[in-house]
Amino acid sequence: MIIRILGEGQLEVDDSAADELNELDSRLEVAVERGDEAGFRAALDALLNRVRATGTPVDDALLEPSRLILPQADATMADVRRLLSDEGLIPG
Amino acid sequence: MGVMKRVTLIFRSKANRALDKMEDPRETLDYSYQTQLELLQKVRRGVADVATSRKRIELQINQLQQSSDKLDKQARDSLAAGREDLAREALVRKSGIQSQLNDLQTQYASLQGEEEKLTAASQRLQAKVDAFRTKKETIKATYTAAEAQTRINEAFTGISEEMGDVGLAVQRAEDKTEQMKARAGAIDELMASGALDDVVSGPRDDIQAELDRMGATHGVDAELERLKTELEQGSAPKQLEGSADSAQPVQRAAGGQSAHAAPPTDQPPAGDGQ
């Protein structure tokens, strides 16, 4: 499956990594809901590092939508909230 | 639903809404391609803006570094002149400048990172826009409007996601550049007001004034000493003039002349030859 890390591009990640990534993603979501900045930072770093470690960058010319999209590495909790509220996205 | 899926859905729904607005799917291709080119322009402008901002910070870093170096030298000179009070004052000012410098260097690194990310984003978008253009022409040439729909949707969703990503990156870079401009402007104002600048080169540079005064005093003393020595030496040669063994250059020259004067007595052989 193709996963995009915002600001970094798309990576091809083996489907077998899905469970682990979902688990990390749940931690990220809980942290955002609780407003737990430290938990948010740790979960986002873990999630991005896992995707970077297991994934391989796709060809730049590939025109395929990603299965999953992850916030950029330096995203704050406020950035992620904005992203989820559908504000601040440039219409494409 | 996790964060990843929600973000993905938001990107997807943006693309779908844009697609729904288009009546002829093939028109979508041309319209989208235009907006892609516009975004590419925008990203390139963004890269240039970040670079300009980075260079401005670089200039300020150099100016502050010069101030810091000068204060450091002043501290050394003051200490060498036995003025620990002046040396301390110079070091206090240097540490103030140093903290500004550290702050600027952090900002510089952050802008440099932003510039690299945006440059990479611009290259990725360029590659995708090129791929889209090729695909667009193929679709237009090969399929009827109805047949083309699915393929257009795929290509459009793919490029749309990239554009959303790049658009966000440009926005982040713009925000950061604006912040940097504000801070760089504040430092420029500080420099113009003299709060930073005057420390070393302005009229109120009392450390340098004191050092200069001390240096000038020292210079006068040294000049006096030199004059005294010259005067003493000026009278000495007179006493030595009569001495044939004198090592003084003037005496040696005179000795040389007398040595020249002597040869004629040794020269008769040459005279004989004539």
Q: What are phi and psi of A68, to 5 degrees?
A: -135, 145
Please state the three-class secondary structure of B123-178 as a single string.
HHHHHHHHHHHHHHHHHHHHCCHHHHHHHHHHHHHHHHHHHHHHHHHHHHHHHHHH
Q: What are phi and psi of A10, to 5 degrees?
A: -100, 145
Q: pLDDT 10s per residue in chain B (274 long)? A: 788 888 888 888 888 887 887 777 777 888 889 999 999 999 999 999 999 999 999 999 999 999 899 989 988 988 888 888 888 888 888 888 898 899 999 999 999 999 999 999 999 999 999 999 999 888 888 877 777 788 888 888 889 999 999 998 998 899 888 888 888 888 888 777 766 643 444 445 677 777 777 776 766 677 778 878 888 887 655 555 444 454 444 444 444 444 444 444 444 444 444 4
Comparing CB atoms, the residue among A26, A83, A86 nearest residue B2 is: A26
Name every chain A residue with its beta carbon within 8 A of the beta carbon of B169. Answer: 6-7, 72
Name every chain A residue with its beta carbon within 8 A of the beta carbon of B121. Answer: 7, 9
pLDDT at B252 (0 to 100): 46
Cα separation, B179 vs B101, in Å, equals: 17
Q: What are phi and psi of B262, to 5 degrees?
A: -65, -45
- Note if the pTM is more than 0.80: no
pLDDT at B249 (0 to 100): 47
Q: How far is B27 from chain A, CA to nearest CA, in Å?
A: 15
Percent of chain A exceeding pLDDT 90 equals: 73
Q: Average of pLDDT values for A67-85?
A: 89
pLDDT at B38 (0 to 100): 94
Q: How far is B94 from chain A, CA to nearest CA, in Å?
A: 33
For residues B109 and B180, the answer to whether their CB atoms sit within 8 Å is: no
Residues 6+ apart with CB under 8 A from A52: A5, A11
Q: What ipTM score was computed for the predicted complex, to two decimals?
A: 0.88
For residues A28 and A47, the answer to whether their CB atoms sit within 8 Å is: yes
Helix (H) or strand (E) holding A5: strand A2-5
pLDDT at A81 (0 to 100): 87
DSSP B37-85: HHHHHHHHHHHHHHHHHHHHHHHHHHHHHHHHHHHHHHHHHHHHTT-HH
For the segment A25-62, what is each residue's pLDDT rounded down to a tens digit?
999 999 999 999 999 999 999 999 999 999 999 999 99
For residues B78 and B87, the answer to whether their CB atoms sit within 8 Å is: yes
pLDDT at B143 (0 to 100): 76
Give the pair of three-digit tokens for residue B60.
Answer: 């300020």
Q: What are phi and psi of B220, to 5 degrees?
A: -65, -45
